[in-house]
Structure formats: C-alpha cells, structure tokens
Structure 1
Amino acid sequence: MKKLKTIFVSKTFFLSLIFLVFILTWYQVFFKNDNSRFSNEEEITGLIKSKKVTNNKITLELKSKENIIINYYVDTYDELNKLNDVLYEGIIITAHGTLNQPSNNTIPNTFNYKKYLKSKKIYYTFKTDALEVVGQNYNIYYQFKHWLSKRIETIDDTGYIKAFVLGSKNKIDEDIFKTYQNNGITHLFAISGMHISLFSSILLFLIKKVHLKDNQAYKIVLLFLLGYTFLVSFTASVVRAFTLVLLLYLNKRLKLGIRTTRIFMYAIVLILLLNPFFILDIGFLYSSLTSFGLILFSDYLKTSNKVLALFKVSLIALLFSLPITINNFYEYNFLSILANIVIVPLVSTIIYPLSLITLIFPFFHPILKFFLMILESISTILSSITWFKIILPKMPWFLIIGYYFIIYLIFKTKKKGLVILLIALLLGYKLSFNFDNNFYVYYLDVGQGDSILLINPRSRKATLIDTGGKKSVSYNEFPPNEYHISNNIITFLKSINISKINTLITTHGDYDHMGESLNIVNNFKVGKVVLNCGSLNELEQDLITLLDKKHIKYSKCINQLDISPIKLYFLNSGEYDNENDNSNVIYLKCDGIKFLFMGDAGVEKEKDILNKYNISVIDVLKIGHHGSKTSSSKEFITKIKPKYSIISVGKNNRYGHPNKEVLENLKDSKIYRTDQDGSIMFKIKNNKLKIKTCSP
C-alpha cells in the first residue's frame, strides 16, 4: 500500500500521466480516422437505446455494429401513437433505408452536429423508409428503465421529473427552457455532480437511519450510483461524478492521503482513457471545470453566510466555465449570478427532492407543480431583463490558455485583484476587433436561398443582404416544423463580435431571400432596412408592419448607400412585372476589388444593366437566381468576366440548380458553391483577397 501511495502522490508520475493521456486523447479524437463498421447498408438491425419524438419525426439511437441514429417520419398521429407504444429502450428493430454521413456546420462557429455525434461515438445517421420490431432484450436494465419512464410520464406532465431522474429535457416547455438558457441555469436540469451529490446525501441520510457503519453505507451508495450511471446511459457528467465519488472513497478507505484536487484529476484521466470522446461533450467540460474550480477554491468558499456562500459558488462557477459559455453561445448574462443565488436553493432544496418524493408518492404532484410555477415565473422575469447581457466573441486557444493561467495565479498568490486582469483580458480581446482593418464579405450557406454579410474595417458596421428562408409546411395532420436558419446567422454574428446589423437589405420579396427577416428583426438589433423597387408582396408588408412596431427606419428603391468607407450602388434599371427582375442588384468596390450581387435578377435585367451602366470586369460575382437558366446569360458573363463566381444553392435542391448551361458559361471563372463549399469568406486588405470556406 505504501508503494501505491508513493506512486500516486508522485508529482512526476502525476504530470507524466496527464501529459500522456492528453496526447492520446488528442490523437484519438482529432487525428485518428473514424473507423466505422458501416459501409453502404440498406438494412440495419439493432437495439433501441433511446427515443425522441419531434412533431412527425421519431429519432432512435440504435445499438448495432456500432451506435447509429435512426430517423423515421410518420404520416399520421395514429401511426405515431402506435409506434410510441412499441418502440422503447430494449426493443430490437430492423430498419430499411439509406445510410448518411452527418455534415459539419457550414456557417462558422455554429452548432456542429457531426462533432456532437462523434462525442457519442456515432458516425452515421440512417433515414428510414420502413421499420419493424423483431424482438426484445429482456435485460432487467432495459425493462426497469422502460417501466420508470412510463411511470414518470403517467405521474408528471411537466417534464421536470424526467429531466431530474433520466436526464431527458424534451418534455419541458421550449419557451420556458429558453429562459433557463438566457439565465445560465440549464445546468440545473442536466444530471451532473450537483444532482449526484444531492442524491447521495439523501441516500446516506436514509441509510444511516438504520444505523449502518459509514463503510457499509458508502458501499451501498456507490452501488446505487453505479446502477444510476447505467440507468442514464453513462452520460459524461454522471460518469465523471461517479468516478470522483469512487476514487474519493478508495482514497479514504485505503488511507492514501492524496489531495482532493489530484484525485479529481485522476478521475478525469481515467474517464478519458476509457472514452477520449468525452472531451467533445459540452456537459462534461462544464461539470468538470466548475467542479474543479469549486474544489480548488474550497477554502475561499467557507463562510457562515449562506447567501454569500451561494454568491461565491456562482462566481467560481462563472470564472471556470466562462470560456466554454463564450465559445458555444458567444454571450453571457451577468444576471445569471443572481439567478443562481435565487434559483439554485429553490431547485436543490425543494424542487429536486420533491421530484424524487413525487416519483414514489404521486399525490405530491400538485405541490411540485406549485413550486415549478414559482420557478418558471422567476426565470421568465429575470430573462426579460436584457441590460446585463454582453456579447463576447469566440476565444482562440491561446487566449483560453492565458485566461486559465491567470486563474492559476489567483489560486497560487491569493490575490483577488487579479480578477481585474481577467476582465481586462476579455474586454481587451473584445475591443481588439475594432482595430481590424480588413473588409469582409461572407456568403452564408442558408440552403436554397441567399444571405450575404458585409463587415466594414475598424467600425465593424454590419450590412446583411438577404436573410435566406424556407417556408415551414405542415405535413398531413402535423403542424409545420419551426426552424429558423437565421438563428445560425445571429449566432455567427455574435461569435465575431457583431451586436447590431446596421443595415438589412432585402434584394426582393421572395421567401428564400427575406423569409427570415422577421425572425432577425425580432431577435437581433437592426438599425435600418432597405427594400427593392416594385410593388410590395404580403411578406414585405408583414416586415414593414413589424418595423413600424419596433420604430425601425426603412427605405425603398434607393440608388446608393454609404457604409463608409465604402459605398453600395444599386443598379436600378426600371420596374418589371416580376419580383425576380425587381431585385436589388448591388455593386461595390473595395481596395480595387469589385463585387456584384445579382439577387434573383434574370436575363432581361442583365441586358438592361449592361445598357445603362458602364460595368466591365467583376472580381467576385454572386450568381443570379441560384444558377438558374433564367439568369447568367453568356452575353452577360462574357462582358463582366468574373474571376470568382458564387452560387448560393441548396444541396440536392428540387430545382436542379445550378443549371448546366450556366456552369458552362462560367467555365473561365473559379466557382464556389454553398452546397459544396459551405459558407465562403472573402477578406480584403491592401488590394489582396483571401478566400476561406466552411465546408460540410
């Protein structure tokens, strides 16, 4: 035992192990090829691990040769209800369909579904045409989980008990959950170290009532926690919490005398050795960093004042988790410190224990609902206060290292004043964007639509030309799916430190160009709006109604726009009898590099522009109408000779865009397509052009 203690307390062994695991994790996750055992299967048989229902879509995580996501779309509510009854954890199904490889995000700094699946060791999705139940696994684990899930659904219609017990937040009202996100308290509804601690404390309290010795009590708690880890399918944060409890117990039992901070690091090392892909799991990163911070600064947290203690806990959690928050959401609501002080005690001392009690004694449910009503009301009120929100751009890796190094200095020197250095570091980085002398043009991938972002040098004024948009269509009995691609645009804007769209330009009133304008105006600050020439359609009138309500200025059919130091010229060649030819066609020149944005303008307008304006060689052309044969005539392309041509088009779109004839006309131009290249960035400085893509 002494030899074991000598090894584990050795600083050399400790640092060598951390370095080795770091290298192995980095290699496994970022460099090693994904060795999937699937190839071109059209039929997959496996066991259901989890199920999620969204409108008419059933998503199953299936355990087959390896884990895979199965997506199946139902036609009627009757079919949905029947499948809901027979598809659950432990059921074995055979699915027929098409294997698909998930894509990376194609708008920079937005949610990466492929990376998310990789964190769960999933490399493929499967679009299912038909599925059938072929058997059932009678493992007691799956039977108990199904029974527990059904019992919770019978008892509770709010979704909170399921969130607290099984970690599934799908049933919590979407609008209410957004208020939790705004207030920075979603960690309360994801099973983590806090829940494990509360659960363990309740269990220990009950066990000690039967006068068992501490050693026996801890063994029983560990067995329960191990079973619970199985129950929640080895969720990363729960695995971390259980591993830490286990190692702390062994440290005490074997009298190794290893410091808690080192025990914590050994727990992280062990977890990453077992599953290096946990390093991609945001929940794991959040819980690990905040827990480590609370352990490291445990002496600082000691106080008899409970409110002050909660404030200190919230502050430490904020300091250690802030880079993760910034690099995933790009803003922070400093009111969340107050929200945690108010809401954490409410959840941890009343709502969470009451949820467990209600699970056993359902007649407590009205009392639980009363406290949940209080919780939701507080969260809604706090979420409506926006004064304390600040946008913080994505942090590069070297800044994150510097940030945590300053925290290390605070711990070593005990100088709390160094917190000011942390604030200066973040604010200094935020302000550094104002010294960026580059001009940026982003052609954002919004599917079958257009959206182009212009960022001015130094002033960082943002001009958005079109928003993209896809009509939500109801399917049979089901309501339309509410999905806004512009939420990704807003996320991207925040990630590059843009807090306002100074000018929103709509080239014309088609939905695929301005369908998301209402969502953007409702959820992001907009200075003014410019509309095209011609009559207004219903969508444009809806936008104007919203602009009037929000007191946002708008103009129509203008000739030029000064976005100093650059001017945008609107090539108005008359009014037409169709919306496409009434598109705002915009010309700009920056550092000698000429851009032309065609909207959906067709061949007739192209001819009129050539006749009315003296346009020669264009460096970067945004192709009209997504590469349709109605635009980009040979005469027009031959005249303007674009060096680069951008086609904004949806993958596998039903229109067959871009047209082969158009591609032939562009054979002397370097073509970029959003369906193949994702978003395309042009950076201009000193007459030089740098191009970067965000490929799928």
Structure 2
Amino acid sequence: MGIAAVSVSVGGHFWGGLILLLVVISRIIRLGNRATWIVLLVGLVIFGGHLWLQEQRLDRRQLPILAPAQATELAVRVQPDAITIRGALYYLVATKVSNGERVTLRGRLTSAAQLRALQRVHRAEVWQITGQQQRLLPATNFNQFDSAAYWRHRQVVTEIKVTALTERTPAPSHWWQWFSDWWHARRAQLIRYCEQLPGALKVYALGLLPGAKSAESMTELQGMQRLGLLHLFAISGLHVALLLAAAEWLLVHLRLQREHWEWLLLLSLPGYWVLAGASSGVLRACLMRGVQLAGKRCAFHLSTLDTWAVALVVGLWLNPGLLFELGGQLSYGLSLALILLRTESWWWRQVGLTLLGLPSLLTGIFQWHSLTLLANWIVVPLFPIIILPVTVIGTVSFAWLPALSRGCAQVLGIFDGGLQRVAQLPGNVLFGRPFWWVAWFWVGATWWLFSRPAGKRRRWLGLLAVSYVVMYGVIHYPPDGEVAYFDVGQGDSILIREPFNRHVSLIDTGGRLALPQPKWAVAPPVTYNAERTSINYLKSRGIDHVDDLYLTHHDADHIGDLPAFLKHLRVKRVLVPAGMEQEPGWARLLANSATPVRVQPIQVGSPVGLHVLHPFEAGPADNSGSLALQGTFGRLNFMFMGDLDRAGEQKIMTAAPQLRTDVLKLGHHGSKTATAPAFIAQLQPHLAIISAGRQNRYGHPNPETLATLHEAAVPAMSTQTSGMIRYVYTDGRPGKWQTKLISKGHARDNQ
C-alpha cells in the first residue's frame, strides 16, 4: 500500500497519497517489525525511481500544449487487433519504429478497397505514414474525462492525424516480439469472429472474450451500466477467474498430471492476458492466479491477500495511474473486499461491496441506482451459471451450429432487455460528483465500520448514510451560482446557474455538422459531444434538468446536440427566436424527447428570464436573426450575442443607445462579420469571451476582430486557449473567474 500511496501522490492527489502513506506507516509502527520497514523503504525507493524516470521520459517526448500541429513522416509498428474502424474513420495505438514511442493514430479511409484492407490485417505490420502530430489535449471542461491522463498512464503523449498511408509491409518479428505478435494476431482473429455473431451475443462475446467493444455496446449495455453491473465485464476480471477455473477443470478431467497442467496454465497466462484485452481487471485476475500457481510450484505458500498485493504492485508498475481509473478502482477494490469480507454474512458482504464501490461510481459517473444491491444479488449468481456459459456456447457453436448460436443470442437479448426494463424503474439517483477527500473518507469509514463487531455496526452505518445525505445536499443546493462557457469546439454552449440551483438556463447546446458517410462505410451510431462536455458537467453538479434552454438560431454548431439534452435531462422550456418555430428542419431534433417539449418563440419585449435584445420581429433563424440576450449575475452584466452579425448589432445600438455591458460574448465566434468597432465603443465591455474551435477551418477568431478589441483595450479570453471559462459568484458579492486550462497549459484540479 505504500507503493500505492506514492502512485497516488505523484498522480495528482498529493495529500490523499500522503494520508495513505501515513496510515501505512502507522500500521507498520504498531507491528514493530524491522523487516517490514526495510521492505517498505526498498520498495518506495525502487518504485519512486521507476516513476520518476518514466515521468522524465514522457516529459521529453511531450510537445507543448496547444502548439500547432507539426508535419511528420514516419514508420510505425501496428498490431492487427489495435485497429478500430468507425464509419469511414479508423483509430489505433501504434509504436514508432525509430524509438519505440507509443502514439495514437487517427485517419480517414478513402476507399472501399482501403476499408477491406484494414479489416483483413491479420499480423503485425509496419506502416509508412505522413500526418500532423500534436500533444494529446487534456480535459478542457471541468469534471470531464481526461483522455490525455488516461493515455499518459499507458506511456502515450502524442497523437498523429494521418493524412496519407503510403505503404504497408509485414513487420519483422524478433525473438522478443514473437510471443506478443502471435497472441495479438489470435486476438484479432477472435475479434473478427465475434463481430459476426448475432444480436446481443456479439456484444457479450466481444466484451467477455477478447475484451473489445462493439459499436452497439453502449446501446445494448445501458441497463447494465445504469444498474452498476459493468464490473461483470473486463472491469473486474470476474469472468477471467471463471474461465481459468473452467480450463483447470478441463485439464484435470483430461487426466493430465497436476504438475504438468499447472505449468502449462502458468506459462499461458501472459498470452491469455493479451488475448483477453490486457485491461486492469484481466491483469489482476491473471496475476493473482499466476502468483498462486508459481507459489505452489515453488513450494512457497502465499495467502490470497498476498497474491492480491503482488498483483497491485505489478499493476502499478505497468500503469502508475491504475488507482485513478474507475476500472482499476473497482477491480482491485472489490476483489480486496471479497478477500477481507469472506467471513461476513451474505447481507453484510453485499452491503460492504456496495459501500466500497459507491465512492468510485459517484466520482466517475455521478449516479447510482437504488436497485443496484438487488440487481447484484440476482445477477452475480446468474453470471457464472448462465451468462458466461451461454456466451461461450453461443460463440463456439456459431461456426458449426448457427441455430444454437441464435438461441443463445435470444437468451442474452431477453436478459439484457430485462435489465433495461429494471433500469428504467424509479430509483436512479443523480448524486453528483463528491469532493475527492469526501470519497476517500467514505472508503476509510467503510473499512473502519467493518472492523467493528457486527452487533455495533448499525449505528455507525446510519451515520455513514447521513454523510451521504449531507454531501447530496451540498452538491444539489450550492450557495454559489455561475456563468460558464463550455469548450464545445467550434460552437456555443453557455450555462447560467443561479445560487442554490434556483434556476438553470442554457444558451445553445453546441454540435457539429454531420458529414455524409460514403456508401461503402457502415454508419456508426450517432454520438453527441455534449454528452462528454456540458451534460457531463451538469450531471457532475447534480443537475438533472434545464428550466430554460435558449437556442439562438438554427445552425448545427449551436443546436446540433439538442437531442442529447432532451434524452438525458428534463428540459422544461425551449426558447427560440421568433420565426424559428415555423422552420421544419430543426424540429426533427425534438424527436428524442421522452416528454412533450414546450417551444416558445421570443423577440424583443418577451417576458422571459433573460432580457432579449434581438430579434425585433419574426424572421429566418439564420445569423441575421440570431438571439442576443442580456442578464446580470454576481454584480456583472453579461451579453450573449449568438451569431448575430454587424447589421443586427447596429439595430441594437439604435434601439438602446445607452446600452452597456461588463462581459460580452462575441458574436459568431469572433468572426469579422460581427463585433463592429462602433458596437464595442458603445458597450464599453471590460471583458470579451470568444467561443471557437482550435485550428478551425474558418480562422476564428479573425485578426480584424482581435485588433478591434486591442484598440479598445478590451481583454479577451477564448475557449481555444483557456478551455471552459466560468464566473462563480454568490448572492450580493462579486465573483471570480476560473478557467480549466491555465497559462502554463496544465489542467486545473476539477475540484
């Protein structure tokens, strides 16, 4: 655990890691064992040195944040199972031939022939590519999943956008690469085989056997995700333990000598780790079984807790960020709970597993279903006797008895449909994201609770429940309000949240123009950027509704993600510029709403929450008819210009010659078609906000607009360089500005 403390401290939670280290030291002091002190110190020195050298190497490879992409031409080594194809796009992680650095690649397929060629890759290859390389961008919105940190834990800090794949040749396989190459090739074959399976069997087989995701997985497994059952897949490694147990049973009944089959199984575990997807859960399960077998063969007895500790040390050596990831927390945390709570009654064991997993779930996905305990009670026993066997039988029988495979798919489909229906029952609690130290307190308090005699736990269990209720109230009724400009790329999305969440308004949803897919490409499922940015942030703050959703005009970069909001949140009212309600094109975006949506057209003089400055009459909802809005929050006056052009600005100046503002969100992402010098001169803003995408093809913000601001001595902040920008205030007091990305280019702590 001392090594885990160092990993946590270096990974970003210094105080949390320090507290954990102090707990470990206090425990060793109570033991009074000198040998334990020596082991701890040696382990800390070795692991700390390894971690320091690794961080230094990654820092040297890492390009400056937000720096322009650099043209590059290089050779990369590609494993066949690393290639993921979505529509006409492909993604993978490859290794530079020149120095062994791992990089992420993304590119666009140009023909059906190229699509077929990548689908048929069956062995390691060397690709000659040209493209643009840049640093992986960290999370640019508060409480957003940080993919750059995720990949850094896996020794990846650079991404390359491939512009041309000029040559593909078989990769030479040296003696130290042969073993890995062989297993990666087998995994690619298994993935291709599983992708042909029918219905729900395809999703379950891909998740449980090669540890891969299908395009349908997010749809098929929604019920399992809402009920907190995803740990049954590769997250926990439970299926690995079951499959290994089945393999041992088969080897025993084949009359092989125990010594022979144990050595065979031990030597096969590294390959199986690759075959099963190399996730943290799979690694833990393989390591624990491997250490047990090795100890038995070497006549060295190790307890289950010892094997767990060895698995944790090796896991942290390979992935120092293991304990910052939901999968790692659930896999190692729940497996430790199963070991330490094995003497408890069934009821207390289930309570313990729920309480120990809950802080990770609330920190990672912000919600919890009250039926989770019941679902685990029913589903977990079914997993080894029905779900996993049906998946294996359906997969194996597909080639020679497809009727049986289809029957297995129907069984899994019925099971999955039942989970989805249960997940739709009332009981889902959108909790929000607790402070990190509160989550740590809950974990520590739960372990302390189970150190008490069973008869004395109920009172402490009640106090622990009270702490959850208090944290729920703190999240859902915060004394501060905010005006937040989300970083949604080339688009707009602005949150206005009043103190204690009295009223929640949103101006635009962001979105992107959907490019048509070539006829030869299979269209991927529709996804929305808002689910990872603005909606994710709202859920992290415990917000499950929007009182007023203003849509400034009909462009896709402002309203394209509306279906996601209607699906995930209760939207009480949608307000649009007068005339837009008559346009048929945008109405299709309302189709995903679970309840009827009230659409209200507004114009100057309409009695709504924000003051409407434009339009003055009904008209087309293009840039010239965009909404312009105004409101005062935390002693500052804010104006939100949508995509309004200079002609619209002139109308506002003519109608309100005394109009002033403190904070101006520039129209049309800083385009020269908006933000006239006369408009800035009249408004006299103290700060300008620009919402625009990085390296966008339009050149926003335009140099002419920036010059206008400079001449008027108006400072500006842009989501391009600052990420999400928010102004946090309390009633009657001035607020403070916060940005997700700071000047040095490092992300702020989300909390």
Q: Taking structure 1 as the reference length, what is the TM-score of the superposition?
A: 0.88
The 5-angstrom pairing of residues 572-591 of structure 1 reads 572=614, 574-575=616-617, 578=620, 579-591=622-634
Residues 367-376 or 210-219, more deviating: 210-219
Q: Which residues of structure 1 form unaligned runs of 5+?
A: 1-5, 302-308
The answer to whether the 8 A contact 1:508-1:582 is kept is yes
Contact 1:25 1:277 in 2 (8 A): no
2:102 paired residue number:
67
Identity of aligned residues (%): 23
1-structure distance, mates of 2:55, 2:471: 27
1:295 to 322, 336, 339: 339
Residues 92 and 105 of structure 2 are in contact (CA less than 8 Å); yes or no, is this contact kept in structure 1? Answer: yes
Q: Distance in 2 between matches of 1:561 and 1:591?
A: 23
Distance 1:222 1:678 in 2: 48
CA contact 1:357–1:364 (8 Å) conserved in 2: no
Question: Contact 2:234 / 2:279 at 8 angstroms: preserved in 1?
Answer: no
Write the distance in 2 (CA, Å) between the matches of 1:370 and 1:470. 41
Deviations 1:174-206, CA, capped at 9 Å, x for gaps: 421333322322233326431221122112212
Residue 153 of structure 1: how far off its partner (Å): 3.5
Select which of 643, 646, 649 maps to 1:603: 646
How many Å separate the matches in 2 of 1:232 and 1:540?
A: 44
Verify: 1:125 aligned to 2:134, yes or no: no
2:462 and 2:305 mapped to 1: Cα distance?
25
Q: Which residue of 2 aligns with 1:442?
A: 484
Say whether the 8 Å CA contact 1:499–1:525 is kept in structure 2.
yes
Cα distance per residue 1:70-99 (max 9 Å; x no partner): 2231123332113322x2442222222222
**Shift of residue 322 of structure 1?**
1.8
Structure 1 pair 23–325 and aligned structure 2 pair: CA distance change class (3 A): farther
Matching residue's letter, 2:362:
I
- For residues 8 and 145 of structure 1, the distance between their equivalents in structure 2, rounded to whole angstroms, comes to 45
Segment of structure 1 superposing worse, 473-482 or 248-257: 248-257
In 1, Cα distance between equivalents of 2:330 and 2:606: 45
Query: Which piece of structure 1 moves more, 133-142 or 652-661?
Result: 133-142
Of the structure 1 ranges 378-387 and 623-632, higher mean CA displacement relative to structure 2 is found in 378-387
Q: Give, as a single letter, the amino acid of the residue that structure 1 aligns with 2:707.
A: E
Question: How far apart are 1:249 and its partner, in Å?
Answer: 4.2
Among 568, 578, 602, the alignment partner of 1:533 is 578
In structure 1, the residue matched to 2:240 is 196
Contact kept in structure 1, 2:79 and 2:184, CA below 8 Å: no
Q: 1:130 to 1:218 in 2, by over 3 A?
A: same
Write out per-residue CA displacement over residues 492-533 of structure 1, whole angstroms, 9 at most, x where no aligned residue: 100011111111111222222222223311331111121212
Q: Which amino acid aligns with 2:639?
A: L
Q: In the alignment, does 2:662 pair up with 1:632?
A: no
Per-residue deviation, 1:449: 1.4
Match of 1:79 among 100, 104, 114: 114
The aligned counterpart of 1:238 is 282
AA aligned to 1:68 is: V
2:737 & 2:337 partners in 1: Cα distance? 41
In structure 2, stretches of 5+ residues that fail to align are: 1-30, 64-69, 746-751
Please state if 1:399 is matched with 2:444.
Answer: no
Q: What one-letter code is carried by the residue in structure 1 that aligns with 2:290?
A: L
Q: Which one is further off, 405-414 or 173-182? A: 173-182
| Greater mean alpha carbon deviation, residues 125-134 or residues 228-237 | 228-237
Question: 1:237 and 1:546 mapped to 2: Cα distance?
Answer: 35
Q: Aligned with 2:238: secondary structure? A: helix
Asked if structure 2 preserves the Cα contact closer than 8 Å seen for 1:515 and 1:539, the reply is no
CA apart distance, 1:355? 4.0
Paired with 2:288 and 2:476, the residues of 1 have a C-alpha distance of 44
Change (3 A) 1:403 1:460: farther
**Structure 2 equivalent of residue 469 of structure 1:** 511
* Aligned twin of 1:304: none
Query: Is the contact between residue 332 and residue 392 of structure 1 (CA under 8 Å) also seen in structure 2?
Result: yes
CA contact (8 A) 2:94 2:104 kept: yes
Aligned partners of 2:492 and 2:509 also within 8 Å: yes
SS of residue in 1 equivalent to 2:698: coil
Q: Which residue of 2 aligns with 1:134?
A: 169
Matching residue's letter, 1:433: I
Which residue of 251, 264, 273 corresponds with 1:220?
264
Q: Does 1:45 align with 2:76?
A: yes
**Cα 1:491/1:591, change in 2 over 3 Å:** closer
Q: CA deviation at 1:358?
A: 5.4
Provide closer, same or farther for how the CA distance between residues 558 and 14 of structure 1 changes in structure 2, counting only shifts above 3 A.
farther
CA distance, structure 1, for counterparts of residue 279 and residue 625 of structure 2: 54
**Does structure 2 retain, via aligned residues, the 8 Å contact 1:343–1:375?**
no
Which aligned pairs between 1:354-433 and structure 2 lie closer than 5 A?
Answer: 354-357=390-393, 362-363=399-400, 366-384=403-421, 385-414=424-453, 415-417=456-458, 418-433=460-475
Residue pair 2:484, 2:724 contacting (<8 A) in 1 also: yes
Q: Does 1:569 align with 2:611?
A: yes
Query: 554-563 vs 6-15, which deviates more?
Result: 6-15
| Cα distance change on mapping 1:663 and 1:587 into 2, 3 Å | same
Residues of 1 paired with 2:706 and 2:425: CA distance?
48
The one-letter code sitting in structure 1 at the alignment partner of 2:514 is S
Q: Does the CA contact (< 8 Å) of 1:435 and 1:458 recur in 2? A: yes
| Aligned-pair Cα RMSD in Å | 3.2
Partner Cα separation in structure 2 for residue 150 and residue 434 of structure 1: 49
1:286 maps to a residue whose letter is L
Counterpart position of 2:23: none
TM-score w.r.t. structure 2 length? 0.82
Q: Deviations over 1:95-135 (max 9, x none)?
A: 22222222112222122221222222111122222222122
Q: For the residues of structure 2 that align with 1:23 and 1:401, how far apart are their CA atoms?
A: 23
Structure 2 CA distance for partners of 1:631 and 1:186, relative to 1, 3 Å: same
Alignment length (residue pairs): 678
